[in-house]
Amino acid sequence: MGKLGEDFFTKPTLLLAELLLGKVFVHNAADGRCYKGRIVETEAYLAEGDEACHAFRGMTKRNKVMYGSPGTLYVYFTYGCHNLMNIVTEPEGVAGAVLIRAMEPMSGIEEMKKNRDIMRTVDLMNGPGKLTSAMDITLEHNGLSLSSDTVYLEEGENFPPSVISSSKRIGITKSADLFWRRYIAGNAFVSKSKPGPPPGKKKTLLES
DNA sequence: TGTAAGATCTAG
DNA sequence: TAGATCTTACAA
């Protein structure tokens, strides 16, 4: 399967949030384990006009990775117990990222179950904090490039635009009205936090 | 230096 | 529905 090059990430954040669906995220861990998962849910975050974005008030020690090269991993810790994983977008100097909210496990499933200490495959990565735990993604991965051999994306099976749905983002209070969440309608591995509107209610970029 | 909030998850 | 648990940002 083809590894995605840096060119892939030089697209607008919202478009990337859709294009990332179906792509395969690969993590070759330091202990020799290899984790693979297909992305089925994303959320876009942009500094401009988006109060929910970490970079809305400018660059800080934490969010400086968001200002880096597109295709960089931005991992941060929140709620005292969860790592969340983003892929940096927009040209260098402009803050933007796509939060990976859910994935469908493809490889290393037994290791993921041990990492999460659960048995049900469908619950392994159906939430942003869950997938980092399953794939052993930590703050050590913050700032890593997706053109490295440790973490990268592979060309997966592209979903038809008709199954890509959009909704408001989840778990935030600021800029909560933006329809910047993208997910695969009906996919069992999408997070269950809140049901979105029926598919097709809002046009996605790929449809229009 | 202290404090409050937070892009979450799980158990009860 | 609340508690876990810790980093960051901001105010004093």
pLDDT in tens, A69-121: 999 999 999 998 999 999 999 999 999 999 999 999 999 999 999 999 998 99
Q: Is the CB of A90 under 7 A from strand B?
A: no
Instruction: Dig out the tokens for A134 from the structure.
Output: 């399953």
Q: Is the CB of A57 under 7 A from strand C?
A: yes
Residue of A11, A17, A9, A50 whose CA lies nearest to A165: A17
Which nucleotide is nearest to A64 if distance is taken from CA to C1'?
C8
Q: What is residue A198's predicted lDDT score, i.e. its pLDDT?
A: 45
Q: Is the pLDDT reported for residue A204 higher than 50?
A: yes
Within A95-186, residue ranges assigned H as helices are 109-116, 128-135
Q: Is the pLDDT reported for residue A15 higher than 70?
A: yes
Please state, rounded to an integer, the average pLDDT across all residues of chain A.
Answer: 91
Backbone angles phi, psi at A116, to 5 degrees: -95, -15
Q: What is residue A193's predicted lDDT score, i.e. its pLDDT?
A: 58
Q: Which residues contact A80 (CB under 8 A, 6 or more apart)?
A: none
Q: Residue A78 CA to nucleotide C2 C1', Å?
A: 18
Chain C nucleotides with an atom closer than 7 Å to a protein C-beta: 4-10
Q: Identify the structural domains of chain A with CATH numbers, from first to last.
A: 6-184 (3.10.300.10)
Q: Is the CB of A194 under 7 A from strand C?
A: no
Rounded-to-integer distance, Cα A208 and Cα A201, Å: 13
Q: Is the pLDDT reported for residue A195 higher than 50?
A: no
Q: Residue A60 CA to nucleotide C9 C1', Å?
A: 9
Chain B nucleotides with an atom closer than 7 Å to a protein C-beta: 6-10
Name the burial class of residue A104, with classes exposed (0-12), middle (13-18) and buried (19+) by CB atoms within 10 angstroms of its CB. buried
Using an 8 Å Cβ cutoff, are A106 and A125 in contact? Answer: no
Rounded-to-integer distance, Cα A208 and Cα A197, Å: 18
State whether residue A92 is helix, strand or coil.
Answer: coil
- For A91, A141, A157, A165, A173, the CA distances from A103, given in Å and listed in that order, are 26, 18, 14, 15, 24
Q: Cβ within 7 Å of strand B: which of A 145-164?
A: none
Backbone angles phi, psi at A25, to 5 degrees: -90, 130
